A and B are shown apart, each in its own frame.
Chain A
Amino acid sequence: MTESGAPSPCEPESERRKRRRSLTPLLLAVARDGNRAAFSTLFAYYAPKVKSLALCMGADAATAEEVAQETLLTVWRRAATFDPARAAASTWIYAIARNGIIDRLRRQSRPALRPEDLVHQAQDDPSPDRRIDDERTASRLRAELANLPAEQAEVLRTFYFEGKSHGRIAEELDLPLGTVKSRIRLALSRLRAALREAP
């Protein structure tokens, strides 16, 4: 967050929602046909967002630019492993972006452990398949996010856009840990309801 109060790339744009693009068909076109036009559309939409995320999480401008590039190249290379029955396209791309940024910031490449991989790996305890309705779930989620009380939205933004642990976020927001926990719990219970709602 900037201290000057100037608009920061971390601010949500709840009031001016962009027309949502249908990501899944684009990603599937990349996977099935190596479609460069579909890739270009994904790149135009996501590279600037991934760059923002990397900047918020502490990357410098040159690194953020590289990570945005690498993320979209990873999307291309791994597109065939995307399974629309198991994750929304936006979820899948978010996970790749976050992992790429973390790996860069830590300067350490590590084994596959995070949910992007968990979603696609055989589990010791396989859960029943859960179909995620990309478009409807996302639109319910966006509506709930826009309606969250400001202090809950702030906590969520800090988690997602700055990539810090709950302890450090409590310090940064100058809040007791219990307050951070309760805001998370309240926000997530509303958002989970939006995720679970029958289409």
Chain B
Amino acid sequence: MTVRSHPGDELLLSYATGGFPFPFEVVLACHLALCSQCRMTASDLETLGGTMLEFLEDTPVQDGALEAALACLTEPAPAALPPAVDVDDPETVRLLPAPLRALIGRPMRELEWIDRGPDLSVAELSSMAESGAVMRLLRARPGVVLPPHDHGGTELTLVLAGGLVDETGVLHRGDLQTMGPGDRHRPAAEQKDGCIVLYATDGELIPVSESP
């Protein structure tokens, strides 16, 4: 399946230069894990970072800094980092991209899912994040429609399974949607499969009476 909805350059640049709060980084890292095109862009932006760093003027380090570093060197340097321990659960491995699995470190069904109605449940991941933005997994049964809303801040939503439908179209696994103040929509889970999405936001949802 090809990813069709991508973050813009300004998002990837904010990500690559370390300008985003942690929850946004997680959502973008998960998109990158599913999208080779954006991964290539992110890699380009890092290459650019390496070159930009060379343009940066030096600030002298303290006398003796090198000697202090040399005294700290462990020998020999380890040949490789120990491999990350992955979650051993087929459903979790199939649905959650590697960066999210590394973060939660357990099967997704063991997260604290909170029902928000008969057909909608949410797992709060913000406790693992710094303040300033929240991050959640949301699971909706087929056909569930959320109330129309505007956005008090930036919201990044990554579809992990099924389909998310709103006025702008249908999004599937790997697609990333960016919403901001003034963007109104009435998202719904696709009739066929429902959906699972990961989203992060630094603002509140603002209920509105009508979608555009």
Contacts and interface: CB of A to CB of B under 8 A. Distances in A.
B25 to A, nearest CB: 6
B57 A13 contact: yes
A181 interface: yes
B56 A53 contact: yes
B9 A184 contact: yes
Contacts, number: 240
A160 to B, nearest CB: 4
A122 B86 CA distance: 12
B47 A106 contact: no
Contact of A166 (B19, B50, B51, B84): B19
Interface string B47-62: 1111111111111111
Q: Is the interface of B mostly helix, strand, loop or mixed?
A: helix
A113 B56 contact: no
A113 B24 CA distance: 11
A99 B29 CA distance: 14
A32 to B, nearest CB: 10
B77 A52 contact: no
A39 B34 CA distance: 36
Interface residues of A, number: 100
B66 A125 contact: no
Contacts of A36: 70, 73
Interface in B117-137: 130
Contact of A160 (B40, B49, B154): B49
Contact of A94 (B11, B33, B46): B46
Contacts of A169: 19
Contacts of B60: 48, 51
A102 B98 CA distance: 21
B80 A113 contact: no
Interface residues of B, number: 68
Contacts of A90: 47, 50-51, 53-54
A73 interface: yes
A58 B18 CA distance: 12
Contacts of B45: 188
B160 to A, nearest CB: 11
A160 B58 contact: no
A166 B14 contact: yes
B46 A12 contact: no
A122 B56 CA distance: 32
A50 B74 CA distance: 22
A113 B99 contact: yes
Contacts of B76: 34
Contact of A68 (B65, B97, B98, B174): B65
A91 B46 contact: yes
14 contacts: A10-B56, A34-B73, A34-B76, A49-B58, A52-B56, A56-B56, A73-B69, A88-B47, A113-B103, A138-B54, A159-B14, A159-B17, A163-B17, A165-B14
Interface of A: 7, 9-14, 18, 20, 30-31, 34, 36, 39-40, 43-44, 47-53, 55-57, 64-65, 68-69, 72-73, 76-81, 87-95, 97-99, 101-102, 106, 108, 110-116, 118-119, 121-128, 130, 132, 137-138, 141-142, 145, 156-157, 159-169, 180-181, 184-185, 188, 191-192, 195
Complex A-B, nearest 9 residue pairs according to Cβ-Cβ distance, in ascending order: A90-B50, A48-B58, A127-B36, A166-B10, A91-B50, A94-B50, A165-B19, A12-B55, A163-B18
Interface of B: 8-11, 13-14, 16-20, 22, 24-26, 29, 32-36, 39-40, 42-62, 65-66, 68-70, 72-81, 84, 97-99, 102-103, 130, 154, 174
